Amino acid sequence: MNLMAATPGIDDGTLALRLAALELENSQLRGDLAASLALTASLREANEHLVLAAVDAQTSRDDAEETNRRQNEFLAMLAHELRNPLVPINVSASLLERSPVNTATLERLTGVIQRQVGHMARLLDDLLDAARLSSGKITLAIEPLRLAELIEHAAETVMPRVRERGQELAIASPSDAMVVEGDRVRLTQVFTNLLNNASKYTQDGGRIAVAAQVGAEGGVTVTIDDNGSGMSIETIDRAFDLFTQGPRTLARSEGGLGVGLNVVRNLVTMHGGSVGAASPGLGQGSTFTVSLPLSNAAAPSGSVDSVAPVAGVTRRILIVEDNNDASDVLRMLLEVEGHQVEIAGDGNTGLALALEGRFDAIVCDIGLPGLDGLELMARLRAAGAETGARPLTIALSGYGQPQDRERALAAGFDRYLVKPVAPAVLLELLAGVTP
């Protein structure tokens, strides 16, 4: 049947126009549908790209964290392996110092060995601190501290170097009212690094001066001046950048890694302070300025507690150490002091001897073959809980990160010493043991 003939009242032209309009509308709908399908495909593709980008970003973050973790582990292991040889060197120097045939030449050589061991230990500490600071791994134990005490402890650390070079260190001691909120170890490290830096870039016979004053805004400002090699404007601008060092000659006998001042800046910033550098120019000395907020609390009286030595008493001491040179010189050092010493070269032997309960003190390495020092101590403390035996236990380790110390103390160690330990510190701890 003819459609136009079956539609009364509509002529052929009108119907044709309507059909054309419908076809046009249909064509537009097909176009809109195609566009919608294309948009859907584009959105789907974009969504897939976003998902892939998110996965890639997470993978990159995971890779970065893994790389950072591996770097920290490598640095910790590097420090451990480099610290281990420093123990026999440092203790041997201490034994030479105690030698009854000590001569002026031997005394000078002993001093050189001890200073260079200390320098190597500082380089390791700076390197590890720079890595930990960049990854946010350092936390602070905040307490009210007397500024004078912090500067005094830093000066004691650098005085052997200052004396060796015939330099003068003048300190205008801050008043007891100058109290800051901070971490004792880290703020002492700040001033030690700055004093070491001043000594390094000051000629033999030069002068270093330390002074402190209360600033206009209620903070305290410490200045460390020297009359050494000075700095150019370019050096001042990047003095606190990582791996930056001032100019030095080929005759320079003692260098650095260029991380000490970067560690200083980061630690001072963590304490809410600031540090800056200035110099009139090359050959005209330098000034470093540390600004810290003052504390409203009073600092505790006295200094850090120490173990009171009891002279002339023999201790029975077990050394658990797999480095033969280290254990031999430690034995010699302790026997010179009159103590009775036994040695175990691995963890299992050390535990067996320790369980006999014959010792007043145990000096134990952490990285041991067979049974590590942490497991040894955990088993010893578990056995001691039943018998009541509890000798003084000292961890002697090349691992120096805070979490290493925490794990050792949690395992049951009474003290944690990082290699190379000063022989006097070890002897003082052992001298305070009641046999």
pLDDT at 121 over 70: yes
Distance CA 140, CA 363 (A): 28
pLDDT at 305 over 50: no
Lowest mean pLDDT among 50-64, 203-217, 307-321, 372-386: 307-321
> So what's the pLDDT on residue 141?
79
Distance CA 339, CA 316 (A): 6
CATH topology of domain 143-245+258-293: Heat Shock Protein 90 (3.30.565)
pLDDT-based confidence at 279, cuts 50/70/90?
A: very high
Distance CA 230, CA 53 (A): 50
> So what's the pLDDT on residue 124?
76
More confident residue, 128 or 170: 170
Give whole-number Cα distances, 10 to 2, 20, 24, 25, 26, in Å: 13, 15, 20, 21, 22
Tell me the one-letter amino acid at 94. Answer: S
- What's the 3-state SS for 101-164? CCCHHHHHHHHHHHHHHHHHHHHHHHHHHHHHHHCCCCCCCEEEEEHHHHHHHHHHHHHHHHHH
Q: Which of 95-104, 177-186, 354-363 has the highest mean pLDDT?
A: 354-363
> So what's the pLDDT on residue 306?
39
Distance CA 219, CA 201 (A): 28
> So what's the pLDDT on residue 125?
74
Please list, residue by residue across 67-102, b when 16 or more beta carbons sit within 10 angstroms of its beta carbon and e when fewer do.
eeeeebeebbeebbebbbbbbbbbbbbbbbbeeeee
> So what's the pLDDT on residue 434?
53
pLDDT at 300 over 90: no
Residue 398 CB contacts under 8 Å (≥ 6 apart), including other chains: 79, 80, 81, 82, 83, 84, 366, 367, 418, 419
More confident residue, 80 or 319: 319
What tens digit of pLDDT does each residue of 33-92 get? 888 888 888 888 888 888 888 888 888 777 777 776 676 677 667 777 777 888 888 888
pLDDT at 253 over 50: no
Q: How many helices (H) and strands (E) does the chain have?
A: 12, 12
- Delimit the domains of the chain by residue range: 27-137, 143-245+258-293, 316-432
pLDDT at 138 over 80: no
- What value does the mean pLDDT take over residues 205-218? 87
Please list, residue by residue across 305-321, b when 16 or more beta carbons sit within 10 angstroms of its beta carbon and e when fewer do.
eeeeeeeeeebbbbbbb
- Please give the DSSP secondary-structure letter assigned to residue 422: P
CATH dotted code for 27-137? 1.10.287.130
Closest CA to 269 of 136, 111, 393: 136
Residue 331 CB contacts under 8 Å (≥ 6 apart), including other chains: 319, 341, 343
Give whole-number Cα distances, 432 to 55, 233, 354, 389, 426, in Å: 58, 53, 20, 17, 10
CATH architecture of 316-432: 3-Layer(aba) Sandwich (3.40)
